Structure 1
Amino acid sequence: MSDSKPTEKKPKYGPKLIADYVKRLPGKPGVYRMFDEFGTVLYVGKAKDLKKRVTAYTSYDRHPTRLRRMIRATTAMEFVITESETEALILEASLIKRLKPRYNILLRDDKSFPYILVRKDHPAAQVTKHRGARKIKGDYYGPFASAGAVNRTLDTLQRAFRLRNCSDSIYESRTRPCLQYQIKRCSAPCTGEISLEDYGNLIGDAEDFLCGKSDKLRQRLQGQMEAASKEMNFEKAAELRDRIRAMAQVSTKSGAANINPTTFSDADVIGMYNAGGQTCIQVFFFRAGQNWGNSSHFPRRSAEDTPEQIIEAFIAQFYTNKPVPKQVLLSHPPERIDLITDALSEKADRKIDVLIPQRGEKKKIVGQAVRNAEEALGRKMAETGAQAKLLKDVQDLFGMEDIPQRIEVYDNSHIQGTNAIGAFIVAGPEGFRKRDYRTFNIKDATVTPGDDFGMMREVLQRRFARLSKDPKLEWPDLVIIDGGKGQLSAVTETLEKLNVLGRITLVAIAKGPDRNAGRETFHMNGRDMFTLPMRTPALYYLQRLRDEAHRFAIGTHRARRKKSMIANPLDGIDGIGPGRKKALLSHFGSAKAVKGATVDDLASVEGVSQKLAQVIHDYFHE
């Protein structure tokens, strides 16, 4: 008989598992992640001392119910040691933004903001709106809170400085000035109405205006206007007068708050308002002494989160992909204002001031941001109150543990199997999430044209295979498919093979007799089919979801079908781009004539070599 002690098994989940990790943790700054049994990230946190911070999770009874649920669900943890707490904060914000953990304060409606781009890769610089990566050579001004704020400023720049906004191809093809020149919105460098040197001076004036040097610019233009008037050049004086007026108008149309500061030039003003367990954060963008608009944000939070925690999490996530201005003015102090200041300064590579104004103009503008946040939250709560009740009805109807936060509704569209596509739409507490809509071109050659079961299998297989591989993607709580028992069986089989069926609630909605809305039948695994009483809010809501999925799917299908109908036979030939296609059609008059041409005839077209002519001929005469 062996007297050796049995090997101690590693706990599988919960406080004991976390205590096991604590034994090996150092007392250093870092970031930790908590995972559930499916490998989904539950929470991302930072710590000045990882050992102390993670040890707190082992005191299970001291935490509120929500965090107890998170601790119970934890089956694994990962840790990253950092050089400093500041580095940990930056990494934490980046991971939260990318992974979207369920238990973190999350900036759900974050987006990229538009900029004004002055392109410098052309002799006559183009001024245009830009959103996304800054890959184009030129100077970027912003951010602006909305496309509307950019458009208003661009309108001012065109009227004040007569800058071109046309594409390079249009610029090169002009032989006479366009309408923009006639209505005095462009100086027409394309046709030489203004020299490139003088046009460059206009660009310089516009950039001075965008940089906040408008007072000096205005004084200079006023001097030029007076000089032109004295010289009896009244047309020139009138042009300068119009430019000054256009510049002055930006002060009254630059943002929702109608405020242009005098005590600072570059700052973001962040005001927060909490009510009813929800939060709205309003951000005003001030650049070059001008208000460039404001935006509303509604971060996801729990009832236990304090205002200090909310605003700290918001700031850290908000600036992960945005430039930081010289000053950030806040309505509420973060938990660690010194930590936030260091993190923003490190990101911007210069000193950033994070302030909570107590008096004067800055205090007044912060108060304006808070009032805007209060009004925006009031509107949001009025809109989402009914939505929350509907989602609670859906939870009860389908026997779900929690109110669904993400609903995906799937549908297919085709005509006798041609141009077949699958699609899904997304809805949640905030309504339809149209940025998350997706379509799928049916690719499986084994799917018989018109086979709805096969199409649905392919779409769900591709969708959930990708979800399983990419932890950054958000999983649905409820999946609704348009169809009956057959579609439900096909999808169930697919999800079982992927081992993901237990993670979602799956429902099929079959149309009523004669496609009669209001008499739909619902199918779920392990439950008899059922119907809902007519004119109930939950039924109307589910009908809206199904109809939206149908609208999206058939709209995408029609667009694809229309594109295929107007496709040119030359599009499928390797080596034939837009230029050669245009040359061939101009030479022969039609694609049919190209098809009937000899190799020598094809080679006579400019840009078509003897070798390419043979390729074209072989394409039509295999």
Structure 2
Amino acid sequence: MDGSDVIRSHLPTLPATPGVYRMIGADGGILYVGKAKNLKRRVASYTRTEGLPNRTRRMVALTRSMEFVTTHTEAEALLLEANLIRTLRPPFNVLVKDDRSFSYIVLGQGHAFPRLMHHRGTARRYGEARRNDLFGPYASPALVGMTIAALQRAFLLRTCDDATFTSRTRPCLQHQIKRCSAPCVGRVTEEDYAAQMRGVRDVLNGRSAAVQAEFARHMMDCSDRLAYEDAARWRDRIRALTALQSRQDINLEGSLEDADVLAVHAEGGTACVQVFFVRGGRNQGTRAFFPRHDRDEDEAAILAAFTAQLYEDTPPPHRLLLSHDLPDRALLGEALTLAAGRRVEVEVPQRGPKRRIVEHALTNAREAHGRRMAERSAQAKLLAGVARLFGLPGIPARIEVYDNSHIQGAFPVGAMIVAGPEGFQRNAYRRFHIKDPAVAGDDYAMLREVLTRRFGRALREDPDRRNGLWPDLVLIDGGLGQLNVARTVLADLGIEDVDLAAIAKGPDRDAGRERFFLPGREPFQLAPNDPVLYFLQRLRDEAHKTAIDSHRARRTKAMEHTRIDGIPGIGPARKKALLHHFGSSTAVAAAGLKDLEAAPGISATVARRVYEHFHG
């Protein structure tokens, strides 16, 4: 059956209720996820292909089966649709193509002296969200870091983990530089610390004016009592709070306490959605998104799909201000209200201060879109230059670059980075821990293992090359020897249509004197000022940096493993207590039973367990 017949065969059993449907291709991949107020009526519309856009007709033609889930309401269907789109990433849906996560400020609970910390990732499913206070989202981790630093100076909260807090016997450096009140050693009472926590909550909720006025009263009181050092400390805290306010104030006529502003600009088959995050009347950063969509999608449809997916795992604010009206705006508000457990208003302001900030976001969307198009144009020229240089059949859409790293054979790793028309595709990077100990230190053997694992898996998982994850060019950091290894691996696997090249550092490893190796060609160099040479150097350097970072992370993790690890009953806190008391795991192993019992936090039972572990 063709796609229309497949869809038509499901109609007799479909209910006229809200739900979500999935269109599935011949290979089992999800082509499209959609929601409907009436499943039967919505799915039936796909059988009348004459009136459908070309994109939709193509999707129907590829459909070989369908799956359905009914829901109680259309709002529930919208939430489920957004969840499935983000999870399954079907090619015919508008996708929020942004792998970066949002950042949040977290105030811990369940501890006498809660910590102030930075969380990056999902908020709604964050494991401690129900026990902690979560503030955000913030558009960038850097802004969260600056905010936490300012809050530390203003309120002296701890940022250390609980294990470090428990093991401290004297104040740390944070206390010395006046960023922590040292609750770990009793320098502040629970009541005073709780007051500091309330101050942080007030500031993050937009009530910083009252907090600053209270700080000023304390400063004047200290000054009146001639306690000038205490007055100076309150002055420094006021300055920290003022600096925080100056970084986060947003110029806005009127009041906008808790809202996100979303504006979309589409042109030339691509779109940019600019989001302003405003919480407590303060700007918490902006971010430009570039969702993947079909060229035929209009701006309102792009914005509708984007908004539903954005808040699938991010708590929505009380109000959304949109640049375009949506066909299902009321439904979107109902769905977000259902997800948030409180009322969420979705507005399209037409005049006044709110419209002005929407216009500001729209201007930013146009400018970000223009910059993105300019970057893509420059990237396209460089990729075209690479195609000419290496004699490729077309402009490469995916370049994979490989490099290895080790120190005298220890902790060997391989790295693969990916670049294409959008620049570096960091979500596609791969790190390989070398499994065969016999090849550690042998660059050729390490490269052979990495390439065999990468392309062997590709042959198993995508032999027909449908998912777009096969490279058009493989670039090896090395010379003729590395190139020959890559040729042998691909030949052994029966892969004949992947182009290979190697880039070797010049004499004395000078940048600009690199030599290039291709199968069947003599090595050659490029002019030192050639833009294509700079581009290939960037690719090579990114692979080298990724390999070194992976090696360093593996080495650090191994160094953190001590002889104490693996002893039953010895967790991070007791491990740290033993190492602080004895200085090293070797000294712990050599300690007597009485010495172990004298360590802080180590009971007689635990001490005997540690002693017997080392002495049988």
Candidates 316, 320, 328, aligned match of 2:308? 316
The DSSP-based 3-state class of the residue aligned with 2:31 is: strand
3-state SS of the aligned residue for 1:105? coil
Distance 2:237 2:581 in 1: 45
* Displacement of 1:179: 5.2
Q: C-alpha offsets along residues 23-71 of structure 1, whole Å, 9 cap, x if unaligned?
A: 6544443322233333232222223333443444445455555444444
Distance in 2, matches of 1:235 and 1:93, equals: 56
CA root-mean-square deviation: 4.2
SS in structure 2 at match of 1:164? coil
| Aligned mate of 1:453, from 427, 448, 457 | 448
Contact 2:578 2:588 in 1 (8 A): no
What CA deviation, in whole Å up to 9, does each residue of 1:52-97 have, x standing for no partner? Answer: 4344444545555544444443333333233332222211111111
State which of 65, 75, 79 in structure 2 corresponds to 1:76: 65
- Report the residue type matching 2:209 in the other structure: D
Q: Deviations over 1:339-362 (max 9, x none)?
A: 111111111122211001122221
Question: For residues 115-264 of structure 1, what are the structure 2 equivalents within 5 Å?
Answer: 115-132=104-121, 133-135=126-128, 137-172=131-166, 177-178=171-172, 180-181=174-175, 183-226=177-220, 236-254=230-248, 258-259=250-251, 262-264=254-256
Instruction: Specify which of 363, 376, 380 is matched with residue 368 of structure 2.
Output: 376
Query: Shift of the alpha carbon at 1:211?
Result: 1.9
Aligned-partner Cα distance in 1 for 2:175–2:588: 41
Separation (CA, whole Å) in 1 of partners of 2:534 and 2:29: 33
| Number of the residue aligned with 1:570 | 563
Indicate whether 1:521 and 2:518 are aligned. yes
Q: What is the match of residue 421 of structure 1? A: 413
Aligned residue type for 2:335: A
Unpaired runs of 5+ residues, structure 1, are: 1-10, 523-527
Tell me how far 1:582 sits from its aligned partner: 8.3
| Structure 2 partner of 1:85 | 74
Q: Which amino acid aligns with 2:80?
A: L
Match for 2:128: what amino acid?
K
- The C-alpha deviation readout for 1:526-577, integer Å capped at 9, x for no partner, is xx9899996787787567545543543355346546776x687837876587
3-state SS of the aligned residue for 1:206?
helix
Residues 564 and 575 in structure 2, CA contact (< 8 A), matched pair in contact too: no
Query: For structure 2, which runs of at least 5 residues remain unmatched after alignment?
Result: 477-481, 508-512, 598-605
Give 1:329's aligned residue. 321
Q: Which amino acid aligns with 2:210?
A: K
CA distance 1:213–1:474, change in 2 (3 Å): farther
Distance between the aligned counterparts of 1:279 and 1:551, measured in 2?
32
Match of 1:278 in 2: 270
Deviation at 1:227, TM superposition (A): 5.0
| Alignment of 1:29 onto 2:18 | yes
Bigger Cα displacement from structure 2, 33-42 vs 54-63: 54-63
Moved more, 110-119 or 361-370: 110-119
Q: Which moved more, 1:509-518 or 1:222-231?
A: 509-518
- d(CA) in 1 for partners of 2:236, 2:583: 52
Once residues 508 and 282 of structure 1 are traced to their aligned partners in structure 2, the CA distance between those partners, rounded to angstroms, is 39
Letter in 1 for 2:323: S
Q: More deviation in 435-444 or 203-212? A: 435-444
> How far, CA to CA, are the matches of 1:157 and 1:514 in structure 2?
50
Distance 2:577 2:171 in 1: 26
| Cα distance change, pair 165–556 in 1 and its aligned pair in 2 (3 A) | closer
Q: Does the CA contact (< 8 Å) of 2:475 and 2:503 recur in 1?
A: no
Contact 1:410 1:481 in 2 (8 A): yes
Q: Distance in 1 between matches of 2:88 and 2:135?
A: 30
Alignment partner of 2:596 out of 602, 606, 613: 606
Compared CA separation, residues 388 and 55, structure 1 to 2 (3 A): farther
**Higher deviation after alignment, 581-590 or 505-514:** 581-590
SS at match of 1:215: helix
SS in 2 for 1:268: strand
Code of the aligned partner of 2:134: Y
The DSSP-based 3-state class of the residue aligned with 2:92 is coil
Counterpart AA for 2:36: A
8 Å CA contact 1:532, 1:539 repeated in 2? no
Q: Which residue of 2 aligns with 1:3?
A: none
Distance (whole Å) between structure 2 residues aligned to residue 60 and residue 334 of structure 1 = 25
Between the aligned partners of 1:25 and 1:531, the Cα distance in structure 2 is 65
User: What whole-Å deviation, never above 9, does each CA across 1:150-199 have from its counterpart, x for those lacking one?
Assistant: 23322332333333334445545555555544554433434444333222
Q: Give the TM-score taking structure 2 as reference length.
A: 0.79
